[in-house]
Chain A
Amino acid sequence: MKTFILAGLMAGLTALPAAADYTIIAPAAPGGGWDQTARTMQTVMQGEGISPSVQVQNVPGAGGTIGLAQFASQSAGNPDALIVGGFVMVGAILTNASPVTLADVTPIARLTGEYEAIVVPAASPIADINGLIEALKADPGAVSWAGGSAGGTDHIAVGLLAKAAGVDPTKINYIAYSGGGEALAAILGNQVTAGVSSVGEFEEQVKAGTLRLLAVTAPERIKGVDAPTLKESGLDVQLQNWRMVAAAPGLTDEQKAKVSADIEKMVKSEAWQKQLADKGWSDTYLAGPAFQEQLAADIASTEAVLKAIGLVK
């Protein structure tokens, strides 16, 4: 008990947070992208005086669907409750047949996003994206892909790529890893043919010359990244792994407007921009009807590709 008292006193010396105004649910374990997004929001909102005190609560599990379900049922009508989510959630809702979907909350805005990159180990005989596509067409089973969890963004990217290249998506040999780190290790260790993950995940390795970047899933070339888009290579694939913030269901229009305004203020702040730059996240802020449209389109295309891969019936 004495340690607790000591710890309490010491923490008290460093910072004395008051009770929370906004509560942000990070539907993931600490350390992941959503958790970091929520905690960055916390820092910026507090620092900019948008909210005197923000609390972050982790509700991990099942691609965010557990947090989402809890949020939808417990926070209905509460204008101070927010949840962080993203593209992975779209896929998880479908693969887990989650009873609660994004239609049950109030999506406010897309905050950041990353494009996917396709790489091969430096020692690989495959020189460019066409070489990889040729190999895939010749024998889809012989091309093993390392990426994140089954049905996640990376898996969807490979599915879309196969489809665009005219290869049966059910025939792809996708090896799911639990985190970006493990998948990256498998690629670096030459255990698999190719790897898929966000551009930032591979950046340092590409710079050091241990990985060869073949293509990215952006609509146009990304500044500072020396790789063609899939579109340039004649494959109609575009994919952004975005993160968003949503508010509780059942809010009035004024409440929605207030939350949207707070988020906009946060995104426009210098502190937020600095955090994004530090973390290597790009600003893909999108709100209002444009975001709603984008969301609907993403859900439709994700459902189509997950069905094609065979993960959703």
Chain B
Amino acid sequence: MGAFEFLIQGLGTALQPAMLLYALIGVTLGTAVGVLPGIGPALTVALLLPVTYHLDPAGSLIMFCGIYYGGMYGGSTTSILLNTPGESSSIITALEGNKMARAGRGGPALATAAIGSFIAGLIATLFLAFLAPWIVKAALAFGPREYFALMVLAFVTVSSAFGDSTLRGLTSLFIGLGLACVGIDQLTGQARMAFGVPELLDGVEVTTLAVAMFAVGEALAIAGLGSRAADEVIPVKGSVWMTAKDWSRSWKPWLRGTAIGFPIGAMPAGGAEIGTFLSYATEKRLTKHPEEFGKGAIEGVAGPEAANNASAAGTLVPLLTLGLPTSATAAIMLAGFQQFGLQPGPLLFATNPTLVWGLIASLLIANAMLLILNLPLIGLWVRLLTIPRHWLYAGILLFATLGTIGANPSTFELGMLLGFGLLGYVMRLFGYPIAPVVVGLILGPMAEQQLRRALSISQGDWMTLVQSPIAAILLGIAALAFIVPLILRQSGKGEVLSQLAGDED
């Protein structure tokens, strides 16, 4: 049987009514737990895995895929509506998405996220099905120096897109980089900036920082406005659906996001966040509406959301073809496969095609199910914002702390949430952009580790960084992205650029 027959057969199984019910339960449960900030797809699947033990293999596989995609999806809803990213890969979504929701365009923001996720999930799952063996070969060509070059590129493109003040943008970034130093140094096992506090040994949790800075910091800033804030009600302007203009502005970012997110997700050390950063920076450069960036540009939601879903499917490439669990989510997926005595590895596609194609069919079903389930809910979600502010913000804080407590029930973690919340408040007050702090925290350790690994392998020879063609090309692009704006500014086109770099906060 060829790949197509297997896929059709898998879809046939997955489309039976009982299986559809399992898929529905799976995506619902996955979304419900996945919306909690700090509880990403990994923990969601881990928590709900026992539920699937009782079912037959096909049903449990389908429910499991539903939980996985539901958990992935859950994060973006809260990012857009409540400015509370559910997981690190939906942080970028909050930038434009929440601005859109504030402007009464929460409906289109949620819709472009849902449809973009669906399209990205669909394309990426098909790539996974038919191109996995080739993609994984390319991904394995990425060693430490190539990753380092990729991080440099991410740094350059992302930081040039932040804020209207170079000083404040850089300060935010370096605060994030400084915080990233906290914890055990991966390469030597030494504790840095931990001051003997055991809770600091694992460093600052990205979701804790993001939730604190975005949700808590904002709640404090709005409370600080006093009675003025209480009267302000968020209007719901126009239709909750996407207009023709929204569609025409969204479809290219969806496809570009997929193209960026999928390969980066397939790279063993890529990480879903990097794809969202690069997608955001790309959209910001290519958009015909640069003035809207920072004030709610739909491209800035469509691209990163597609990228983050595509990278979720990308993660499955090394898992299914090599048996490489490259993230916590992939590791827990592996545990899910092992329930059926299924050992992912290079021979899986050959030895167990029925299950592999059943899995891929289940992913397609779960993906479609999420779209069908979520589109009608958008109207309901948007109305959440019309709740009076005192209830809304009380609810947001309940929710933000619930995620933190659920992921790690320690007083210390809550203390960090409060501390960083206050930091986020002060930074808002003085016009510092928030996102670079989170970007620094995510990219800093990755760049540092890959650089040190590359130099270890080359025994201290810095030339190694440009001796690989991929690394050299990536560094070249990064250099261009850094230099070209400087030249443009010199030749008097500065105004255009300063418009490009709106304040995203």
A and B physically associate = yes
Interface residues of A (CB under 8 A from B): 2-4, 6-7, 10-11, 14-15, 29-32, 35-36, 39, 42-43, 57-62, 65-66, 69-70, 95-96, 98, 141-142, 144, 149-151, 173, 175-176, 178-182, 184-186, 188-189, 191-192, 203-205, 207-208, 210, 277-280, 311
Closest A residue, CB atoms, query B140:
A189
Range, interface on chain B: 35 or more
B51 contacts A185, C-beta separation under 8 Å: no
B25 contacts A14, C-beta separation under 8 Å: yes
A178-B347 contact, Cβ under 8 Å, with A30-B42, A43-B53, A185-B324: no
A150-B186 contact, Cβ under 8 Å, with A3-B31, A10-B29, A204-B343: yes
Q: How far is the CA of A188 from the CA of B341 in the complex (A)?
A: 24
Is B492 an interface residue when CB atoms closer than 8 A count as contact? no
Residues in B whose Cβ lies below 8 Å from that of A42 = 50
**Which of B50, B184, B185, B328 sits near A62, CB closer than 8 Å?**
B184
Closest A residue, CB atoms, query B49:
A39
* Stretch among B221-229, B244-252, B425-433, B451-459 lining the A interface: B451-459
Residues in B whose Cβ lies below 8 Å from that of A181 = 268, 318, 324-327, 330-331
Residues in A whose Cβ lies below 8 Å from that of B35 = 3
Q: Which residues between 132 and 175 of chain B lie within 8 Å of chain A, taking CB atoms? A: 139-144
State the main secondary structure of chain A at its contact with B.
helix
B188 contacts A311, C-beta separation under 8 Å: yes
- What's the nearest-Cβ distance from chain B to residue A128, in Å? 23
Residues in A whose Cβ lies below 8 Å from that of B28 = 3, 6-7, 10
A204 contacts B202, C-beta separation under 8 Å: no
Is B54 an interface residue when CB atoms closer than 8 A count as contact? yes
A66 contacts B201, C-beta separation under 8 Å: yes
Closest A residue, CB atoms, query B334:
A31
Closest B residue, CB atoms, query A185:
B268
B140 contacts A188, C-beta separation under 8 Å: yes
Q: List 22 A-B contacts (CB under 8 A).
A: A3-B31, A7-B33, A30-B42, A58-B46, A61-B198, A96-B184, A96-B189, A98-B198, A150-B186, A175-B456, A181-B268, A181-B327, A182-B269, A184-B322, A185-B268, A185-B322, A189-B140, A204-B343, A205-B322, A208-B346, A278-B338, A278-B339
B50 contacts A39, C-beta separation under 8 Å: yes
- What's the nearest-Cβ distance from chain B to residue A313, in Å? 11
Q: How far is the CA of A182 from the CA of B327 in the complex (A)?
A: 9
Q: How far is the CA of A178 from the CA of B327 in the complex (A)?
A: 10
Q: How far is the CA of A3 from the CA of B453 in the complex (A)?
A: 45
- What's the nearest-Cβ distance from chain A to residue B386, in Å? 15
Residues in B whose Cβ lies below 8 Å from that of A31 = 42, 46, 325, 328-329, 331-332, 334-335
Is B502 an interface residue when CB atoms closer than 8 A count as contact? no
New contact pairs (5) apart from A58-B46, A65-B201, CB-CB < 8 Å: A3-B32, A189-B142, A204-B345, A204-B348, A279-B335
